[in-house]
Homo-oligomer: A and B are copies of this chain.
Amino acid sequence: MESLNLNKHISGQFNAELENIRTQVMTMGGMVEQQLSDAILAMHNMDAVLAQQVIDGDHKVNMMEVAIDEACVRIIAKRQPTAVDLRLVMAIIKTISELERIGDVAEKISRTALEKFTVQHQPLLVNLESLGRHTIEMLHDVLDAFARMDINAAIDIYREDKKVDQEYEGIVRQLMTYMMEDPRTIPSVLTALFCARAIERIGDRCQNICEIIFYFVKGQDFRHLGGDQLDKLLAVDSSVKPE
């Protein structure tokens, strides 16, 4: 992981502490990516052992979030960072919260796979698996963009979410026809629908991480802007370096 263009600190120890937290975030990100990937696989293959493994593993992701959060508060209290250093700490605090929630989705998918899905669900799960892969890719890319604080990559990933939304809408429409053709399938199709919804929301969380990258690089809050406004703002100077 290349080191960021952070303020030059008198204290090499401070630098080391910041880099250490960044490394922990990347480790947590890798963990969540693995959890999500395993959850989608467990769901698709009806693999009870793998599903249980994801459920058990969620605890580690949660503890990692708490540990990084505490490290961030400690570094604020002890080192009193300002400017780009403080932005990095704030960016990390927000990013790990998004990661933890993606971890929760992985856990929930696994639990649903374990407790509710049966062989009759299998035809419903093909498209969910494809949607899942799409969000795993987004998560992978956004973690990569976060490691490099690469705003251009983040812009691409931000826009990718539209495709995830469209894919999700297609799945909803398709699942609805199943239910209408055979109302006995309603309970099981609903379970698949809620899973699809949870997977789709991962795309939104990746978008949130993109906004955190925008905030870190540009020093400005880009949340809640409409698509057009965001495009304009980002287009002005997308290669700007953190001050």
| A residues at B contact (CB < 8 Å) | 59, 62-63, 65-66, 69-70, 73, 76-77, 80, 82-83, 86-87, 90, 93-94, 97, 172, 176, 179-180, 183-184, 186-187, 190, 193-194, 197, 221, 223-224
Residues of B within 8 A of A197 (CB): 194, 197
Q: Decide: A187 near B176, CB < 8 A? Known: A77-B86, A82-B77, A93-B93.
A: yes
| Inter-chain contact A223/B66, CB cutoff 8 Å | yes
| Inter-chain contact B70/A221, CB cutoff 8 Å | yes
| Inter-chain contact B221/A66, CB cutoff 8 Å | yes
| Inter-chain contact A186/B180, CB cutoff 8 Å | yes
A163 → chain B closest CB, angstroms: 21
The answer for the CA separation of A187 and B186 in the assembled complex, in Å, is 12
Which listed residue (B65, B69, B73, B83) contacts A86, Cβ 8 A?
A: B73
Other than A76-B76, A176-B190, A197-B197, give 6 A-B pairs with Cβ distance below 8 A: A59-B224, A62-B223, A66-B223, A73-B86, A77-B83, A179-B179
> Whose C-beta in chain B lies nearest to the C-beta of A89?
B76
The answer for the CA separation of A59 and B223 in the assembled complex, in Å, is 11
The answer for the CA separation of A238 and B194 in the assembled complex, in Å, is 37
| Inter-chain contact A73/B90, CB cutoff 8 Å | yes
The answer for the CA separation of A179 and B194 in the assembled complex, in Å, is 16
> Whose C-beta in chain B lies nearest to the C-beta of A78?
B82
> Whose C-beta in chain B lies nearest to the C-beta of A104?
B224
Residues of B within 8 A of A77 (CB): 82-83, 86
The answer for the CA separation of A22 and B52 in the assembled complex, in Å, is 43
> Whose C-beta in chain B lies nearest to the C-beta of A87?
B73
A172 → chain B closest CB, angstroms: 8
A67 → chain B closest CB, angstroms: 9
Residues of B within 8 A of A183 (CB): 179-180, 183
The answer for the CA separation of A180 and B184 in the assembled complex, in Å, is 7
A186 → chain B closest CB, angstroms: 5
